[in-house]
Amino acid sequence: MTMLSKRHLLGAAVLAFGFGVTAQAHAADMKVGANIGNVPWEFQDAKGETVGFEVDLMKEVGKRLGMDVSFVNIPFTGLFAAVQSGQIDAAVSSITITPKRLASVSFAQPYYDSDQSLTVKADAGITDLKGMSGKPVGVDTGSTGDMWAEKHKDEAKFADIRRYEGLAPAMLDLAAGRIDGYVSDIPALQYYVKDKPAYKVVERIPTGEKYSVMFAKNSPLANKVDDVITTLKGEGFIAGLHEKWFGTKAEPTTSTVAKADMPKL
């Protein structure tokens, strides 16, 4: 064999090895879609860094699986198509498990029990949902709050349902008087208003919601993440996140603490 041929073979081997390393590195990555701006689940802090309850959770899940986690900012309604198409490997954004969603995607076990809520300006004189009669309400597009408001619009007598891509624009319109109330996840609003006396959460709206990580239908990653969540619950890690982000201890009976089964239809 000539020296030139040997060099060609060596070069091909190095190239092949390089491709192998790249493939392995890529296989060890997890792209997580999230609607950045969904306080306190995933949002940007004063330094511009992406932080939040679910950011901490998914980083720890990735660490336990030996995977590098990166976050992709996607509007809430786009998360479903993104996991189904393989654009991302998983999605978080206080996503509620529902039978309708389980028909087309998979979820790991839940890690948070939630409800909806009504938030208003503190000086608006609105003390509950009855006070929203004849007034416009804001919701997050495609969210459980959106579904609830649409289902109960006649009963609640909303003048209009206005849809937003996350908490920030909705609260701007609430402050400006373009809407009189905002229906969204109670943990996000409790976190948001705790240092803002101009706003008040005036009513909890029971819905029996549970949040989890979403995947493409029957994705093998769903089972792996579910196993890690079981471990993290047993270690008290997720309960620690609850204290960190909400300032209160999670109740022992909630899915933040108690192991749960993977949701199925």
Domain extent listing, the chain = 10-113+210-246, 114-208
In angstroms, the CA 42 to CA 38 distance is: 5
Asked whether the beta carbons of 158 and 136 are under 8 A apart, the reply is yes
pLDDT of 1 reads 53
Question: Is 10-113+210-246's fold the same as 114-208's?
Answer: yes
Architecture of domain 10-113+210-246: 3-Layer(aba) Sandwich (3.40)
Pairing status of strand 68-73 against strand 50-51 = unpaired
Architecture of domain 114-208: 3-Layer(aba) Sandwich (3.40)
pLDDT string in tens for the chain (265-residue length) = 544 444 444 444 444 444 444 444 444 799 999 999 888 999 999 999 999 999 999 999 999 999 999 999 999 999 999 999 999 999 999 999 999 999 999 999 999 998 899 999 999 999 999 999 999 999 999 998 999 999 999 999 999 999 999 899 999 999 999 999 999 988 888 888 888 999 999 998 988 889 999 999 999 999 999 999 999 999 999 999 999 998 778 889 899 999 999 999 8
pLDDT of 222 reads 98
- Taking alpha carbons only, the member of 151, 131, 128, 127 closest to residue 139 is 151
Asked whether the beta carbons of 121 and 199 are under 8 A apart, the reply is yes
